[in-house]
Chain A
Amino acid sequence: MDMANQARIKEIAEKYGSENVVVVLGGAEAESAGLTAETVIAGDPTYAGPLTNIALKLSVYHILELKELVDPQVYEDQISMMEMVLEVDEIVAEMSNIRDELMKD
């Protein structure tokens, strides 16, 4: 995740409290989605950004995981096209892995 976004997320989490923030991702690849999730849970894995060594433990989901929560018409308009071309299972599996691994402790 780039520096500016890390700084923004850090600021939002500090302002509202980590328990009141949910991060929704739209990344197209499982690996990058996983890295982003790791960043907002356990800190920047590249040790370069503002979230280095800062474990915000934010709730984080990929939009593809939240289909049931979204107005069907909105989902249809905004997401369904990408849903057809992306590796949905891979992305969902990666997101669950990262959460299982990093959120527990």
Chain B
Amino acid sequence: MAAVRAVHYINQFFGQIGGEEKADIKPFKQDGPVGPGTALQKALGSEIEIVGTIICGDTYFNENIDTASQEVMDLMAGYQPQMVIAGPAFNAGRYGMACGAVCAAAAERFSIPVITGMYEENPGADLYRKQVYVVKTGNSAAKMRDAISAMSKLALKLARGEELGTPAEEGYLDKGIRVNIVFEERGSARAVEMLLKKLKGEPYQSEYPMPSFSRVTPRPPIKDLKHAKIALVTSGGIVPKGNPDRIEASSASHFGRYDITGIEDLTEDIFQTAHGGYDPVYANQDADRVLPIDVLRQLEKEGVIGSLHNVYYATVGNGTSVANAQKYAHAIGLELAQENIDGIILTST
């Protein structure tokens, strides 16, 4: 039997072109496996052959998702792929987004199995897990060996057309698909058994896992708004012109704090947005649209609020992982707590 023809997608870093300084390169192809593809090929043996590799810069892909996807698909078409493998992207946000988008586009254009690998918290995992097999990996390239082994196992199963087990058994993120299974015991007996285990404090596995939402307990209302000190925090990327802290347009790695003493209005000559996830034209024209300093100054004058805190905090929410967002929120909260703030208004986009 001839080997299944696979095309592998990787970014500029794993394509050994370079790091962030090369992240804007356009997609190009190279015959055969490259970088992690060589390890994949070893694990895939003779059943799947990586006939070509498409390499594309993360920034280029994410800033031009539609055209970049199209370009990658056109390059892939030349190889007549029977399977597409992307990544693994670990916890690299933009790489994960690209891997997810490439796999989804390839599945649609060529109607072939597609597979990628990511850390569970990669924003690309959440966005594409329903369309694409996303194999769970560690959060950094130090876990490459495990990732290659897990991805190649699943790829071989898909290539052979074997029936897949549950996501937990196969090591991929669940796609939200429900399958009927016939059990020996009826539901009531299984439920009682589960309950008994729970009462005894023994481990048990629910047949219907609930999504876990983290709940934030609402703070008590502000009693005296007229004397309250209010702070502004935004994930909408409003920064002083020139983005002095170089907050990233996507998957921000930090937040900034900016003094607004004496500033009544955010005008386009001194403020802008650093956010890469929405059309920046209107925020650049008037940053108050995202971070309403003008209105709060007015409320301050009218005596509706006591005062506006002289520092605001900003990051970019675009593609930023929940874990990182929580980390920044915690750090910002600690700083504001020391300033005796009574209330925070968080604006998004």
Contacts and interface: CB of A to CB of B under 8 A. Distances in A.
Given A3-B19, A50-B16, A45 B144 contact: yes
Interface size band for A:
10 to 19
Interface centre among A3, A47, A53 (most CB of B within 10 A): A47
A78 interface: no
A47 B142 contact: no
B19 A47 contact: no
A48 B145 contact: no
Interface residues of B, number: 14
A5 interface: no
Contacts of B141: 45-48
The secondary structure that dominates the B interface is helix
B142 A46 contact: yes
A44 to B, nearest CB: 9
Interface in B3-18: 13-14, 16, 18
Contact of B142 (A3, A45, A49): A45
Nearest to A48: B14
Interface string A36-47: 000000000111
Contacts of B280: none
Nearest to B37: A47
Interface of B: 13-14, 16, 18-19, 35-39, 141-142, 144-145
19 contacts: A3-B18, A35-B142, A45-B141, A45-B142, A45-B144, A46-B14, A47-B35, A47-B36, A47-B37, A47-B39, A47-B144, A48-B13, A48-B14, A48-B35, A48-B141, A50-B16, A52-B16, A52-B38, A53-B38
